[in-house]
Amino acid sequence: MGDPKKIKKKYSTPIHPWQAERIEEERVLLRDYGFKNKKEIWKMNSILRNFLRQAKRLTATKTEQSEKEKTQLLDRLKRLGLLTETASIDDVLDISMNDLLERRLQTLVFRRGLSRSMKQARQFIVHRHVMIENNKITVPSYLVSKAEENKISFSGKSSLASADHPERKKEEKMEPKPKKAETNSTKSEKKEKPKKEKKPKKAEKKKDKK
């Protein structure tokens, strides 16, 4: 059975540690989605692989139990917004990693304009500022369902609930003022500006030579 105190690992690491293509993909995901470390990417990848593995197994078998599991899998993916209402079991294989990452709470907090960056969205969640309906969620990787998506907000007790909070204000870029088009009249005015008259120099007194 194993030690009950030891938590079972919920993800699998890459088979080969040094793969240039995979390392580059993970680097892009770390930058775009504000992950703390690569372990979080591997967890999401394991969840996606489980969905695909179930879909392949249920496609190959046609029993009463498999039909029930097929319906349960499709309903779950539709609730998460990963599939449309008319999708079939074959459409599960088209779900990509980016589709799954877009359903994370951290991503949706940023996409809805509640933070200025992905890393800031993570900070708000971990510091207990974000809630879904009446529940505070402190897990950035929480998968948000379609029904919960419009219920994401700041906690009423949080200072971030005020729209005037400085951390919620987005930096506005100063747009350069458009230059006024010069007309022929303005050009002629520039040309016809009178020149300043030079003041006559004071005559120097010449000393008489004796």
pLDDT in tens, the chain (210 residues): 567 777 777 788 888 888 999 999 999 999 999 999 999 999 999 999 999 999 999 999 889 999 999 999 999 999 999 999 999 999 999 999 999 999 999 999 999 989 999 999 999 999 999 999 889 999 999 999 999 999 999 988 888 887 777 877 554 444 455 555 555 555 555 555 555 555 555 555 454 544
Query: Can you give the CATH number for the domain in which 161 is found?
Result: 3.10.290.10
Which residues are 135's β-sheet partners?
Answer: 132
The answer as to whether 136 is a domain residue is yes
Instruction: Please provide residue 52's backbone torsions phi and psi, each rounded to the nearest 5 degrees.
Output: -65, -40
Residue-range definition of the domain harbouring residue 54: 8-94
Asked if 133 and 150 count as a contact pair (C-beta separation under 8 A), the reply is: no
The answer as to whether 111 is a domain residue is yes
The answer as to whether 147 is a domain residue is yes
- Neighbouring CB atoms inside 10 A of 120's CB total 17
Helix ranges restricted to H, the chain: 20-33, 38-60, 64-79, 97-101, 105-111, 118-126, 146-149, 184-191
Q: Which of 166, 185, 203 is the C-terminal boundary of a domain? A: 166
Q: Which of 94, 129, 154 is the C-terminal boundary of a domain? A: 94
**pLDDT at residue 174, rounded to an integer:** 42
Instruction: Please check whether residues 72 and 128 belong to one and the same domain.
Output: no
**pLDDT at residue 4, rounded to an integer:** 73
The answer as to whether 209 is a domain residue is no
Supply the DSSP symbol for 90: G
Closest CA to 95 of 118, 116, 77: 77
Per the structure, the count of domains in the chain is: 2
- Three-class secondary structure of residue 132 per DSSP: strand
The tokens for 79 are 């609730």
Q: Report, in angstroms and rounded to the nearest whole number, the Rg of the chain calculated over CA atoms.
A: 33
Q: Which of 166, 184, 202 is the C-terminal boundary of a domain? A: 166
Torsion of CA 120, 39, 10, 63, to 10 degrees: 90
Supply the DSSP symbol for 208: P
